[in-house]
Amino acid sequence: MKKQVKTSRHPEETRKKIIESAIALILQQGFSATGVEQICQAAGVTKGAFFHHFASKEEAGQAALAAWAAHGSALYAAAKNEPARHPLDHLHRLFDIMIDIVPHPAAPLTCVVGIVSQETAVSHPGLREACSTYLTNWTEFARQLLAEAKAALPPRIDFDPAEVAWFLNSLWQGSMLVAKTTQHPDHVVRNLERARAYVDSLFGEPLAP
Amino acid sequence: MKKQVKTSRHPEETRKKIIESAIALILQQGFSATGVEQICQAAGVTKGAFFHHFASKEEAGQAALAAWAAHGSALYAAAKNEPARHPLDHLHRLFDIMIDIVPHPAAPLTCVVGIVSQETAVSHPGLREACSTYLTNWTEFARQLLAEAKAALPPRIDFDPAEVAWFLNSLWQGSMLVAKTTQHPDHVVRNLERARAYVDSLFGEPLAP
Amino acid sequence: MKKQVKTSRHPEETRKKIIESAIALILQQGFSATGVEQICQAAGVTKGAFFHHFASKEEAGQAALAAWAAHGSALYAAAKNEPARHPLDHLHRLFDIMIDIVPHPAAPLTCVVGIVSQETAVSHPGLREACSTYLTNWTEFARQLLAEAKAALPPRIDFDPAEVAWFLNSLWQGSMLVAKTTQHPDHVVRNLERARAYVDSLFGEPLAP
Amino acid sequence: MKKQVKTSRHPEETRKKIIESAIALILQQGFSATGVEQICQAAGVTKGAFFHHFASKEEAGQAALAAWAAHGSALYAAAKNEPARHPLDHLHRLFDIMIDIVPHPAAPLTCVVGIVSQETAVSHPGLREACSTYLTNWTEFARQLLAEAKAALPPRIDFDPAEVAWFLNSLWQGSMLVAKTTQHPDHVVRNLERARAYVDSLFGEPLAP
DNA sequence: ACAAACGGGACCACCCGTTCGT
DNA sequence: ACGAACGGGTGGTCCCGTTTGT
């Protein structure tokens, strides 16, 4: 009598598809403009599945942020894969990694963290806090590289690694924001190259592109 | 039949109140999370009045963006109020103006343009375009100052004023994003000071904070 | 200071334009789907003008119905313009008039009375009553023609002129309804020709197209 | 968080209730004057349920039309239930069925198809098309009966079954329109009887009520 | 683990009508 | 006689989340 419906029964995969769809949609429309139903549709699942895996939309947002951050961390961590032959090697590799992201065809050229934190600062404090943490993590990573470089190579002029790291992170986030707004990804590349030259100038000769 | 309590009859003021309320709410929650009703309540007007002045929420958003941009332009324009006694005077004043915004108690520490463009890039192309224009305007202003400085004072190393202007704008936007996310406005000030030092280094001595 | 706006100051013409626009829109969308603002826009006036001339949307509807009925009555009345040389002349002319309406390019091929009465039967009893009156008027006109013919020419079989008149009116209204629905105006012509033949058959030979 | 009082869980029944309520309300007020909320209230369901079953008001309208047409078709089909002992038997039974509808206390004396098509011809083309189809279906049914009668009993004067079928359908629709407008259901009966006599006259003796 | 019916409440848009000004 | 600001309410749509069933 009742028709038997097929259930996929691959919980991990379902979760993953939901998170990926959520990320893709948030990158385009932001968090609040993205509906649960829409995410489900993109992921090819029903709301039943969604709310089985996530207690609320916010929780899915948290998962999306975490996945995004994890992916980013893995990407950036590659900067330390090989030992540094020159004190600035790791920093340079980090810039290279970031620059290499831009021309990639499927690159979103926006950051989930940046978007979500802006719209949820008041309404969903938990999300904003998570964003803050992820931003801090990135900064901490850059700070370490800067500190290590500073330890290995006395800078021409002294600087606070944490401060410079926030400077670079702000520029990174701002570049993606500008790129999405103006739809000119090139800005990101140029900004990053200029930032690299700036970092170099803290150590070596007084700035020469 | 219907009881009409009172009619205010101050169209310009009504418009202004709506726009200001919209700006305030967008800064907190973003565009799509801000409801028309909410704006009306904050502005003390009815939906009837709202939709008399604006055909749609998007149109109100456009007006809010325009007002925000106009306000910003006026602020920045003050950098050229007095003649420059030193070639870098105008640039320094621009940085001062931006830095002075931060400690102001009612300062939003976020930019409507930045927020709106992120969430509406796909859903409301018109808004994104407007944002792009306003970002470009700011950049053009900075570019002019840089070009004028470059003309008056040969830089230590050559640079493209437009590129540097985009660099500064990206940093400026990113700084506000980071500040809102981490809820640490100080980052903005430090980033701006570092940016000023960077600009100086393009002209004068090789960087000294 | 205050800008002087031009006011047309042609009350009768304004009224007329409003009514005409209302008729045109009602024919397309029905009464309740037609908004006051929409009527005003089509008429090139503002709501101020509308509510100066009509106390409510319903009142405008009444005026539209009246105008429509007046126009129709004038049209049909032409059937009696010339004296009848043959007892069935007036009836034939009435059919001719109705048939001639169809091919006219700007012909609506629907009847305001028919539309309005259907949707307002419950919500706006006044409008329905007016519609009923106008339908009755048309029927009365046809009844007179039938009665006159019957008086001048004894029918082959007796009939009640009022009954036949309602029969014809129902067919007339139904034909327009069907024409609008199927978008085949030809049905109207064929139905009317068949109706004429039927009327003839009441008097003369037993039906021959 | 939210309190969920109860969930009915009878999808087919819910759908049916919605459609029936929609039909009842459309018959009274027309399509556009009937609100979704109103339908829900009449059906005893929430808007959540409504928009789960129908993507839009129009889709519900389509379902209502389909249900109405199906009900009508079943009704009329009874005319062919028994074999025809006399060539005109089936036609006569069709007229009987239609006439029998009138005195029924719960009879609407209007046709959803007729109403909906008039108000949605422009705004909802899909609905108009559906109405056109249903009208055509009815006509086709009548045409068949006429053709069968014509095949079995050579008519006194030749006629095109399709044309006569449209004639009858127009009269049928128009009769209901007039009945609703004048609130005199008797017109329908009289018109139908006259129509039956007319059809008879096409075959047999030259008209005798 | 998932599907689908459903609850209730928001959303934006637009409605009709009033009021004041010109 | 008309224009425009405005009030207050409704309309259709979609939202997030709950619940029941498989």
Model confidence, pTM: 0.91
**Residue listed under structure tokens 């400026």:** B172
- Best mutation target among B29, B181, B203 (most A Cβ atoms within 10 Å) is B181
D11 CA from F16 C1′ (Å): 21
Rounded percentage of chain A residues whose pLDDT exceeds 90: 84
Q: Do D169 and C169 touch (CB under 8 A)?
A: no
The whole-angstrom distance between residue D72's C-alpha and the CA centroid of its chain comes to: 5
Mean pLDDT calculated for residue range D185-192: 96
Residue of A nearest to B194 (CA): A167
Q: What is the mean pLDDT of chain C?
A: 92
Q: How far is the CA of C50 from the CAs of B48, C33, C57, C193, in angstroms?
A: 18, 17, 9, 42
Chain D neighbours (≥3 Cβ pairs under 8 A) are C
How many CA atoms are closer than 13 Å to the CA of C12, on its beta-carbon side?
0
Instruction: Convert the pLDDT of each residue in B48-100 to its tens digit.
Output: 999 999 999 999 999 999 999 999 999 999 999 999 899 999 999 999 999 99
Q: How confident is the model at residue D1 (pLDDT cuts 50, 70, 90)?
A: very low
Contact C188, C118 (CB under 8 A): no
Please report residues of B whose CB lies closer than 8 A to that of A35: none
Q: Which of A68, A67, A79, A71 is nearest to A144 (CA)?
A: A79
Q: Extract long-range pairs of A151-155: CB within 8 Å, 24+ residues apart.
A: A152/A84, A152/A87, A153/A87, A153/A88, A153/A203, A155/A202, A155/A203
pLDDT given at position B209: 41
Q: Which amino acid is at A190?
A: R
pLDDT of residue B9: 75
Q: Which contacts of D144-151 are long-range, i.e. CB under 8 A and separated by 24 or more positions?
A: D145/D79, D145/D80, D145/D90, D145/D91, D145/D94, D146/D91, D146/D199, D148/D84, D148/D87, D148/D90, D149/D87, D149/D88, D149/D90, D149/D91, D149/D203
Please say if the pLDDT value at position D181 is more than 70. Answer: yes
Which residues, 6+ apart, have CB-to-CB distance to A54 below 8 Å? A18, A60, A63
B1 pLDDT exceeds 70? Answer: no
Residue C157 banded pLDDT, cuts 50, 70, 90: confident
> In this predicted structure, what is the pLDDT of residue A208?
45
Q: What are the tens digits of pLDDT across the range D38-77?
A: 999 999 999 999 999 999 999 999 999 999 999 999 999 9
Question: What is residue C84's DSSP assignment?
Answer: P
Which pLDDT score is estimated for C28?
A: 92
pLDDT at residue B109 greater than cutoff 90: no
Q: Give the pLDDT of residue D19.
A: 98
C1’ E11 / CA C36, Å: 24
Give the nucleotide at minimum CA-to-C1' distance from D7: E6
Token pair recorded at residue A189? 């590349």
The CA–C1' separation of A1 and F21, in angstroms, is 14
The pLDDT of residue D207 is 47
Q: Do chains B and D meet with 3 or more Cβ pairs nearer than 8 Å?
A: no
In this predicted model, which residue has the larger pLDDT, D67 or D11? Answer: D67
> Regarding predicted confidence, which is higher, B202 or A208?
B202
Are D173 and C169 a contacting pair at CB < 8 A? no
Residue A93 has pLDDT above 90, yes or no: yes
- Look at C42-46, C153-157, C201-205, D132-136 and tell me which has the smallest mean pLDDT: C201-205
C-alpha distances out from residue B179 to A156, A174, B109, D135, Å: 29, 12, 7, 67
- Nucleotide of closest approach to B33 (CA, C1'): E11
Pair C123, D30: CB distance under 8 Å: no
Confidence of residue C109 (pLDDT cuts 50, 70, 90): confident
Chain A residues in contact with B136 by the CB 8 A cut-off are 182
Task: Answer for the pair C80, C141: CB distance below 8 angstroms, yes or no.
Answer: no
Q: Which nucleotides of E are covered by protein (CB under 7 A)?
A: 1-22
Query: Taking all residues of chain D, what is their mean pLDDT, rounded to a whole number?
Result: 93
D168: nearest CA in chain C?
Answer: C171
A209 has pLDDT over 50: no
- Average pLDDT (D91-110) is 91
Q: Cβ atoms within 10 A of the Cβ of B202, count? A: 19
Encoded tokens for C100: 């001639």
Q: Measured between alpha carbons, how far is D9 from D11 in angstroms, rounded to an integer? A: 6
Is residue A7's pLDDT more than 70? no
Longest CA–CA span in chain B (Å) reads 78
Q: How far apart are CA C36 and CA C22, in angstroms?
A: 9
Express each pLDDT in B14-23 by its tens digit: 999 999 999 9
Among candidate residues B148, B143, B141, B164, the one with its CA nearest the CA of residue B83: B148
* pLDDT tier for residue A107 given thresholds of 50, 70 and 90: confident
Q: What is the mean pLDDT of residues B161-174?
A: 98
**pLDDT given at position C107:** 82
DSSP string, A112-126: HHHHHHHHHTTT-HH
DSSP letter for each residue of B50-89? HHHH-SSHHHHHHHHHHHHHHHHHHHHHGGGSSPPSSTTH
Measure CB to CB from residue D174 to each of C33, C175, C182 and give the nearest one.
C175
Q: Which chains touch A (3 or more CB pairs under 8 A)?
A: B
A84 neighbors A57 (Cβ within 8 angstroms) = no
Task: Summarize pLDDT for A58-67 with one digit per residue, the tens.
Answer: 999 999 999 9
* Nearest nt by C1' to D12 Cα: E5
Residues A196, A100 contacting (CB under 8 angstroms): no
Q: Answer whether B28 sits within 8 Å of A177, measured CB to CB.
A: no
The predicted structure's pLDDT at residue B157: 87
| pLDDT score recorded for residue A122 | 87
Chain A and chain B touch, per 3+ beta carbon pairs within 8 A? yes
The pLDDT score that the predictor gives to residue A207 is 46
pLDDT exceeds 50 at position A108: yes
CA–CA gap between residue B134 and residue B130 (Å, rounded): 6
Task: Identify the three-state secondary structure at position A83.
Answer: coil
Number of Cβ within 10 Å of residue B110's Cβ equals 20
pLDDT computed for residue C105 by the predictor? 82
Determine the Cα–Cα distance for residues D5 and D203; give it in Å rounded to an integer: 65
- Spanning CA of C39 to C1' of F11, the rounded length in angstroms is 19
Grade residue C5 by pLDDT with cuts at 50, 70 and 90: very low
What is the rounded average pLDDT of the residues B162-185? 97
Compute how many other C-beta atoms are within 10 angstroms of the C-beta atom of residue D127.
22
Closest to B181 (Cβ–Cβ): which among A128, A172, A194? A128
CA atoms of C197 and C188, how far apart (whole Å): 14
- CA D192 to CA D178: how far, in whole Å? 13
A28, closest residue in chain B (CA to CA): B122
CB pairs under 8 A between A and B: 166
Interface contact flag, A156 B206, Cβ < 8 Å: yes
- The three-state DSSP-derived secondary structure of chain D is CCCCCCCCCCHHHHHHHHHHHHHHHHHHHCCCCCCHHHHHHHHCCCHHHHHHHCCCHHHHHHHHHHHHHHHHHHHHHHHHCCCCCCCCHHHHHHHHHHHHHCCCCCCCCCCHHHHHHHHHCCCCHHHHHHHHHHHHHHHHHHHHHHHHHHHHCCCCCCCCHHHHHHHHHHHHHHHHHHHHHHCCCHHHHHHHHHHHHHHHHHHCCCCCC
Gap from D125 CA to E14 C1', in Å? 22
Q: Which residues of C153-173 are buried (b: 16+ CB within 10 A; e: fewer)?
A: eebbeebbbebbbbbbbbbbb
For residue A105, name the pLDDT band (cuts at 50, 70, 90).
Answer: confident
Please report residues of C whose CB lies closer than 8 A to that of D174. 169-175, 177
Which residues contact residue A95 at a Cβ distance below 8 angstroms, ignoring those fewer than 6 apart?
A192, A193, A195, A196, A199
Decide if pLDDT at D209 tops 90. no
Q: Alpha carbon C30 to chain centroid distance? A: 15
Q: Verify whether the Cβ–Cβ distance C177 to D177 is below 8 Å.
A: yes
Residue A9 has pLDDT above 90, yes or no: no
pLDDT of residue C180: 95
The shortest CB-CB distance from A178 to any of B115, B170, B178 is to B170
Is residue D15 over pLDDT 70?
Answer: yes
pLDDT digits (tens, 9 = 90+) for C130-151: 999 999 999 999 999 999 999 9
Using C1' positions and the CA of A3, the closest nucleotide is F22
pLDDT higher than threshold 80 for residue C192: yes
> How many Cα atoms sit within 13 Å of C110 on the Cβ side?
29
pLDDT for A27 equals: 95
